[in-house]
Amino acid sequence: MASNQPARSTPLLLKLVLFKKLVEAGVLFVAALLSLAGIRHYQHLPELADRLGAGHRPLLAALAHQAIGMGPWQLEITAIAAALFAVLITVASVATLRQRPWGERLLLAVLLTMLPLESWNLVREPSWLHGLVVALSLLGTLLVIGEMRQSSRAGQQPGSH
């Protein structure tokens, strides 16, 4: 059933939050792929870590050392969880951009799920980047709630069926 009302435009700030979430989904996909690579080549990780460290690539060497410490089982769990959460974030963000009410609810759940972890990161390692992440998540939460309220009000108006 088509509505006679014009389609709402997604606010620019909400688009910014959705962009941030899609970047997070991309990072989670990369984490999933790295975890899968770590599982596949687990026996070679110590050698890789040493080679990366000698090549002055401290971030990659640190990731390899962390993978060694996790073990193959935890790497597998990390890969699965990261991939599933990346898909969830992507679906919620795209559905919200397409103004699907279920997408807004799913995005709100994603934002509220991540907020405690993001806040903990800010408390544990205060930085402007962690502060920005928390601020964007809070802003996104408020914007999504506002969009949901606006959608419900538009649905309650006479003649909107």
**By the 8 A CB rule, do 78 and 70 touch?**
yes
**pLDDT (mean) for 52-78:** 63
Is residue 55's pLDDT more than 60? Answer: no
pTM above 0.75, yes or no: no
Q: How far is CA 48 from CA 54, 74, 106, in A?
A: 10, 19, 39
Domain ranges of the chain: 12-155
Residue 119: which pLDDT band, with cuts at 50, 70 and 90? very high
Is residue 125's pLDDT more than 50? Answer: yes
Model pLDDT, residue 27: 81
**By the 8 A CB rule, do 30 and 79 touch?**
no
Encode pLDDT of 13-40 as tens digits.
788 888 888 888 888 888 777 777 766 6
